[in-house]
Every structure is written in C-alpha cells, then in structure tokens.
Amino acid sequence: RAIPSDVKTSLAASSLITQTYVNGWGYLYNTGSYGSNYLLRAYVAYYGLGANLMEDALYASASSTQDLISINGSIYNYSLHFDADELPPVNAFWSLCAYNNNTGLFVENEIGRYSIGSRDSLLYNADGSLDLYMQTDSPGAGLESNWLPIPDEAGRFVMRFYWPKDEMLNREWHVPALCKTLKIFARSFGDEVGNDDIEKEAINVYPNPVSNILYVGGNSANLVSIFDTSGKLVFEQENINSITVN
C-alpha cells in the first residue's frame, strides 16, 4: 500500500529529522540507531529501505549545488575535485551514484554504469588529485574512466562511505562542493544543434569544465552563434576559424 502524501510531507518536514549540510551536501549522522525517534526510522525506511550505523557507513546526498541550483543533467555538467590529501577517508571503499530525483531510481545509460568509486580503475592527476565527471555525455575518451552518466532531467547524487575513518565520524572531513558548467548549444548555417551534432556542421566546441572557457573552432563557418540553454545569445561572430569565449 502506498504511503499517503500527507505522511510523506510530515516525514520530510519533521524537526526530528535533521540533516547537516556542508558544501551543498546533506548528511544524516544518526542512522541505524534510532531509539524512540520513530519518525527518523520511518524516514530512512521510506527513502533508503534501511541504513547502517554511521560507524559502518556514512551517506551524503545532494539534489542541488551549493548555490541551491537544482541538479539537472539537461542543463548542466557536473564535476567533483578531490585534492590528493583530501580523498575520502575510509578504511573500506567509497562510491558515488546518480538518481532521478523524482523516482529515486537509476536511469539507463549508454555504458551501463550506475556508480563510480574507489573500487574502479580511476584516472588520477599527476599530483595525486582526482576529478570525477557527472554528465549525460562522455567527457572524452581519455576521461571516461572517471565518468558517471547522469539523468537528462532532475537528478540527485548520493555518496556512500564504508567503514569511515575518524575524520568523517568527527565531522572534520566533508565532500567538496559540486562544480557545475552550463551546457552550450551552437547554431551554424541557420540550424540550431546540440554538442553531439556540431561536428556535422564543421564546428567543434570544447567546454573546459574547470575554467569555464569555451573553445570553438570551425572550418568555413560563415556564422557561429552561441546560446545558453535559456536561449540567450552570448556570442556571435562571422567567418571564424577559431575563437576562445570566456
């Protein structure tokens, strides 16, 4: 039997269910041991079926970025950067998953990958730091080892940390803030196309998710117009060979 909508609202609004938010990520530090807090027990059972004691596993979730912009794979690409000395402190392993924020379910993707984490063959930077890419389209062949496909719609991220170390249990370490990059759409020869189709029009677009600089190159392109996803014209130039848009 479905849970009545008013009960769902009561669960989400209850003052007995307190999440700690840091860098846009929410943490529940008192899962698995509820005492007489039956609302918290019900909340965890409804949203997660169950949860471990925090000494066994900690969870962090985000349905929006630090600036309170909702996660949406149709509008933004996302990334996470961990410095070499700020990797998730666990004795076992950690993972990152992406869900449809309305259904709470995974969404099918072209590579069949629904989580990414420390048990995968990730590509680390030369200084030992780590970048993860969460977006609907591939970040490029050289970065696909660190790519988590996300829904082309409203989404939610969940990180799980198994056998967390003391710095997590003591609330000294937290997941860094998500970095978001607005997806770019280009129009060439009067036709508006997305990133996937740009090459067909002899135009290449390379957005840099770290610097937010957009590199655009074209062969015999007599007009390039760049719009953001709201339809606002942000750049236009005729007879280009290559340009850099900041």
The predicted structure's pLDDT at residue 199:
40
Mean pLDDT, the chain, rounded, equals 79
pTM exceeds 0.75 for this model: no
Rounded average pLDDT over 67-76: 90
Rounded average pLDDT over 109-137: 96
Cβ-based neighbours of 28, under 8 Å, separated by 6 or more? 17, 19, 20, 44, 51, 59
**d(C-alpha 119, C-alpha 99), whole Å:** 20
The predicted structure's pLDDT at residue 232:
61
Query: Per the structure block, which two tokens stand in for 139?
Result: 């970040």
Residue 239, amino acid: N
DSSP H or E run through 155: strand 155-162
Give 190-202 pLDDT, tens digit per residue: 344 444 444 444 4
**d(C-alpha 11, C-alpha 21), whole Å:** 18
Confidence of residue 240 (pLDDT cuts 50, 70, 90): low
Backbone angles phi, psi at 154, to 5 degrees: -60, 130
Strand partners, 193: 186
Alpha carbon 98 to its chain's center = 7
DSSP H or E run through 38: helix 38-48
Residue 100, amino acid: N
Rounded average pLDDT over 106-118: 94
Confidence of residue 127 (pLDDT cuts 50, 70, 90): very high
**d(C-alpha 6, C-alpha 19), whole Å:** 21
Yes or no: say if 88 and 122 are a contact pair by the CB < 8 Å rule.
Answer: no
Burial of 204 (0-12, 13-18, 19+ CB in 10 A): middle
Give 52-61 pLDDT, tens digit per residue: 888 999 999 9
Q: Is the pLDDT of residue 86 over 70?
A: yes
Residue 104, amino acid: G
Rounded average pLDDT over 155-175: 96
Backbone angles phi, psi at 22, to 5 degrees: -140, 130
Residue 196, amino acid: D
The predicted structure's pLDDT at residue 72:
92
The predicted structure's pLDDT at residue 181:
87
Yes or no: say if 78 and 135 are a contact pair by the CB < 8 Å rule.
Answer: yes
Cβ-based neighbours of 32, under 8 Å, separated by 6 or more? 51, 52, 53, 54, 56
The percent of residues in the chain predicted with pLDDT above 90, rounded, is: 46
Backbone angles phi, psi at 229, to 5 degrees: -70, -10
Q: Is the pLDDT of residue 230 over 80?
A: no
Give 8-64 pLDDT, tens digit per residue: 566 555 555 677 899 999 998 877 887 888 887 887 787 767 788 889 999 999 999
Q: Is the pLDDT of residue 242 over 70?
A: no
The percent of residues in the chain predicted with pLDDT above 70, rounded, is: 67
